[in-house]
Amino acid sequence: MGREFIGLFEEWAESYDDSVLGKDPQYAAVFLHYDKILDEVAKYSTGNVLEFGIGTGNLTKKLVGKGHQVAGVEPSEAMRKIAVSKIPELPVYEGDFLTFPNMDNSIDTIVSTYAFHHLTDEEKDEAIAKFFKVLTKRGKVVFADTMFESSIAKENIIEEANKKGFADLIEDLNREYYSSIGTMQELFEKNQFHVTFKKMNEFVWLVIAEK
Ligand SMILES: C[S@@+](CC[C@H](N)C(=O)[O-])C[C@H]1O[C@@H](n2cnc3c(N)ncnc32)[C@H](O)[C@@H]1O
């Protein structure tokens, strides 16, 4: 579930890899240090990896390159096609954060970049509870995604975007479910994870949640 934004990704898939290179000025700050952010997620990944919202497979490629067994879950067909064209051997499933093949107790690391904000906080709670079941005894979740330190921090960013005339970015920030760090911490701790956060750019935070 949380699939209400899939239409956007069906359209965006073809030009997505240009966006992550900073070619769209409205999203340049969101994707600042993109490659380094993916490297950081890969660095903390161990063992068998389950990746959600693989998009065009950029993180997936790094994980496979490091020798991990990776399974990908992605709801957008257009995104899946591009990812598989880059990594033909990848097992990739049509699914989402809440609906995916049964992998109880077999996954060491669950990863995702720039995707968890498609779930409401209630759906995030449900997903995190599922992650706990899927992960091995000492498993972890390693995410990078846009989130904000406070509602004031979010308002300030929207005000800055407004000054720059970034209408698409403002619409996106108001439309999707960007959580506060406090809410993310609460949700992971409620589901028995120990969680830490690290700021990667003005928008994106690295989240490491260990069982
Ligand atoms: C901004 S892209 C990020 C792609 C890739 N992870 C990256 O870092 O470049 C967001 C991806 O999340 C996927 N997505 C959207 N809703 C989702 C959901 N409910 N569950 C899993 N993935 C979702 C989209 O189809 C898209 O591929």
| 55 annotated as ligand-binding | no
Q: What pLDDT shows up at residue 1?
A: 65
| Phi/psi at 34 (5° precision) | -50, -50
| 189 annotated as ligand-binding | no
For the Cβ of 59 lying below 6 angstroms from any atom of ligand 1, the answer is yes
67 Ramachandran zone, left/alpha/beta (phi>0; psi -120 to 50): left
Ligand 1, atom 27, lies closest to the CA of: 55
Residue 24 DSSP one-character state? S
Which atom of ligand 1 is least distant from the CA of 96?
Answer: 20
Contact 195, 179 (CB under 8 A): no
Q: What pLDDT shows up at residue 21?
A: 95
Structural domains of the chain, ranges and CATH numbers in brackets: 6-147+180-210 (3.40.50.150)
155-164: long-range pairs with CB below 8 Å, 24+: 157/202, 157/203, 161/26
Nearest alpha-carbon partner for 209 in 144, 121, 140, 143: 140
In the chain (211 residues long), the average pLDDT of successive 10-residue segments reads 86 94 94 98 98 98 97 97 96 97 91 98 98 96 97 95 96 96 98 98 98 96
pTM score over 0.85: yes
Residue 57 DSSP one-character state? S
Q: What pLDDT shows up at residue 3?
A: 87
CA 59/CA 113 separation, integer angstroms: 8
| 159 annotated as ligand-binding | no
Q: What pLDDT shows up at residue 104?
A: 80
CA 95/CA 108 separation, integer angstroms: 19
Ligand 1, atom 13, lies closest to the CA of: 53
Q: What pLDDT shows up at residue 187?
A: 98
- Cα atoms found within 13 Å of the Cα of residue 41, Cβ hemisphere only: 33
